[in-house]
Amino acid sequence: MKLRAASLINDSIVDGPGLRYAVYVQGCSHHCDGCHNPQTHAFDGGFETDTEDIWREIEGNPLLDGVTFSGGDPLFQPLPLAELARKARENGMSVWCYTGFVFEALLEKNDREIMELLRFVDVLVDGRFEKSLRTLELPFRGSKNQRLIDVKRYFSDGVVAEYSLS
Ligand code: SF4
C-alpha cells in the first residue's frame, strides 16, 4: 500500500522505548506554533514509498523492539499504517503513534479508517505541540499537554488511561 513519507529511520532511540523503526509521515494540517518538523507539513512533499518495502526493512532488523509513526500527522494516512501496525503486533513488536489530535476527540469522531489504525496501536502520544507548555522533562513528549495514551487498554476494557513507562 502506498504511503507518503518524510523520512524512515531504522534505529531510533528517541521515539518510544527501546530500539524502534520510525516512520515519519508526510503531511500535517495542525501547524502548531514552534513545530520542529515544518518540512513535513505539505501533503505533496516528501516521497512516495510502499508498506511492503518498509516492512521488509523492519523484518530485516532483528534488534527492533517496536515501530513508531510520527511526522507529520500519521492519522492523515491511517490505512497503510494500520497494515504496518498489524504486522508489527503480529511479530511481537509494540506500536507507538504520534498525533496532533486529542484521543477523546478521535473517539467521538469515530472515523472508520483511523479506528482501524488505532486498534493496532499500543501507545498514542496525543495533542498538538503547545509552545507555551514546552518541556524537556516528559519523556517522548514536547509539551506538557501531550499524553501517552494506553490505547491497548482502551480497546481491552474501555478505559482512557495514561500509559506508565515504569
Ligand atoms: S502535529 Fe506535529 S507535525 Fe503537525 S504541526 Fe503539530 S508538532 Fe508539527
pLDDT in tens, 118-159: 999 999 999 999 999 999 999 999 999 999 999 999 999 999
**Any ligand 1 atom below 6 A from CB of 42:** no
> Residue 166: pLDDT band by 50, 70, 90 thresholds?
confident
What is the C-alpha separation between 49 and 3, in angstroms, rounded? 5
* Ligand 1 binding pocket includes 128 (Cβ within 6 Å): yes
Phi, psi of 137 (to 5 degrees): -90, -25
Ordered structural domains, the chain, with CATH: 2-157 (3.20.20.70)
The phi, psi pair for 129, rounded to 5°, reads -75, 120
Edge-first strand listing for the sheet containing 20-25: 47-50, 2-12, 20-25, 66-70, 94-98, 123-126, 147-150
Give the residue, out of 76, 129, 130, with the most ligand 1 atoms within 8 A of its beta carbon, to mutate for a pocket test.
129
Express each pLDDT in 1-39 by its tens digit: 999 999 999 999 999 999 999 999 999 999 999 999 999
- pLDDT, one tens digit per residue, over 69-116 is 999 999 999 999 999 999 999 999 999 999 999 999 999 999 999 999
Which residue out of 29, 33, 35 has the highest number of ligand 1 atoms within 8 Å of its CB and is therefore the one to mutate?
A: 35
**Grid cell at residue 37:** 518538523
